Amino acid sequence: MFQNNPLLTQLKKNLHAKTPRVEGIVKSTERGFGFLEIDSQKSYFIPPKNMKKVMHGDKIIALLKIEKDREIVQPEKLIEPFLNRFVGKIEEKNNKLFITPDYPFLKDLIICEPNKNCINMFHDGDWAVAKLIKHKLNGDHIFYAELIERIIKKNDPFIPWSVTLARHCLDRQEPLVEQKDFTLKENHYRKDLRNLDFITIDNLNTKDIDDALFIYKNSDNEFCLTVAIADPTAYIEYGSKLDIMASKRGFTNYLPGFNIPMLPRNLSEDICSLHPNQSRPVLACRIIIQKDGSISKNIHFFLAWIKSKAKLSYEHVSDWIEKSGTWTPQNKSIEKQISLLHRLCLLRIKWRKKNAVLFKDSLEYRFHFSETGKILDVFVEKRRIAHKIVEESMIIANISAANFLSKNLGFGIYNIHTGFDLINAENAVSFLKNYNLKFSVKEITTLKGFCNLRRVLNILSDNYIDSRIRRFQSFGDFSIIPGPHFALGFSEYATWTSPIRKYSDMINHRLLKSIINKNQAIKPSEEIKSKISEQRRKNRMAERDVSDWLYTILLQDQKYQNKIFNAEIIDISRNGIRARLTENGANVFIPGTFLHPIREEITFNQELGKVFINGVVHYKVSDYIQVTLSDIKLATRTIIARPEY
């Protein structure tokens, strides 16, 4: 008798309207249930039956209910699916295709079909790009995807690279253009410097050589440094097809084992590259460095021809300076260049230590591969004196370019770093007080005060304090107008020394040339600046993801089982520790259950970067501990470690 009763229907509507709703991100677990994260502090339980309607990462609105004296949520509306375009691995069952998304916590097979442009392309074990077109929370009975591109075949050794690049929508090969496009497009006057003893210093296997150096002492006993930079914009017209392609890529993408160049290889590694004994057009800058290490205002930019006299390597130059190894410069002229550049480097390091920010040396890890792409090992590389020689020369050149652009145009592509915002400055000052380091917010939000803080921290040499302060700092960015770079300690900074590898440097080349040739300068747009910034972010993510994948492959080798590794704690998460193996640079995760058996007695404080057990600090960021590998999950590229006591 109550069926279709309008009063009952209205009552149900009223009750439904009064049911509280929450909005958040779905986080799934390996045991079938999940949580709806509202913010970093609040989450609600999602029972297994309700998880079947959603996926990990979905942004949803859910009904908040009480079930058995516990708050739970029932998914109601999809705001934004986690999966839209995604990559995954194909599985063939009973003549039907399924795809497993290549993301942690997304393990369920999704039924799929190829779109009309790629029929009969997919087979069991292949990797593909897919698009989710049906979602259960939208009223569909199943999750359903459309296959739109095959990435790579099953068992191909280059799966980690190809899949990662496809996930981040990054190019997988060099730009393809016809060779005839590569003719010199400019007829501007260039100084002939081919008789000077320019040298290049790079890695042994570097092909895209974009900087050469020449140095002498002038009559006032000051260093006179000429930095000559490869000139791809002499071959690439603004707005041309190749220029547009380069602007979209933004950078040469350096991944473990190989790179995907921003420009065609025969341009970046041959025609423009500053190979020894080859005439090359360059954009050059002559800079006077005074006796105290400061840069003179006497800065001269010009176009030139050079012919490098030697391609030197970091290893050989460092060995010779440090008086180790058997390598020697090929003649006295090259020997003199190295000696003068070394002296300039030491002078500038001394100046920067006193007047700017000197960053600490860090280890770099380089993967070693077989000819077939199999990972063999990881080598540890330290920044040696030859690296610093080139680094200091490029810093001098980039400071000079920033000053030159600001003085003549007032715009360009500047590298900026704003130090601390107001809130983080207050947090930093409060944190430093705990260690008797007295700074004010006003002080550390100025360039001079920030530099002073960094110098104090360098002297203190406490890695824990340093890591916490870095956590409060902002990230580097690009700007069209001049701005300070706090992390380097300079009032302005604009790179132009890698135009073969960075589109932002190509932009600055064109601006510098417009000043030299007295032409109209085209101000870069906010859109191109944002595009470059986004490409840099994606490239860094891709490099990290490929590295994580390669580490999980490498460390499955039998020789690493039961091996004790030294590891540095780099972060504290909500339920464990993240650490880096010092031997090879692999990142590992140590779950809380491996640290202490009673969950209620352990506290992970992410803000402080410390782990407390019964109120006592047992672990903190920057600590070195010993670990063994417990589990390597290739599917999620996760390495689980266990502490050794």
Supply the residues annotated as catalytic.
202, 208, 210-211, 314, 501
Q: Do 64 and 71 touch, CB atoms closer than 8 A?
A: yes
258: left (phi over 0), alpha (psi -120 to 50) or beta: beta
How many degrees, rounded to 5, is the angle at CA 85 between CA 79 and CA 86?
Answer: 110
Name the residue among 75, 80, 51 with its Cα closest to residue 63. 75
Chain centroid to CA 370: 26
Single-letter amino acid code for the residue at 300: H
Token readout for 464 is 């824990």
DSSP 8-state symbol, 458: H
CA distance 550 to 584: 12
Q: Which residue has 């497009």 as its token pair?
A: 185
Q: 112: helix, coil or strand?
A: strand
Q: Is the CA virtual torsion 456, 460, 461, 463 positive or negative?
A: negative
**Terminal C-alpha separation, the chain:** 72
Contacts of 92 (CB under 8 A, 6+ apart): 98, 123, 124
Using CA atoms, how far apart are residues 62 and 21, in angstroms rounded to an integer? Answer: 5
DSSP string, 461-526: T-HHHHHHHHHHS---EEESS---BTTTTBS-----S-TTTBHHHHHHHHHHHHHHTTPPP-PPPH
CA 157 to chain centre: 24
Burial class for 468, CB neighbours closer than 10 Å (0-12, 13-18, 19+): buried
The DSSP bridge pattern shows strands 127-134 and 144-152 to be antiparallel
- Residue 128 bridge partners (DSSP): 88, 150
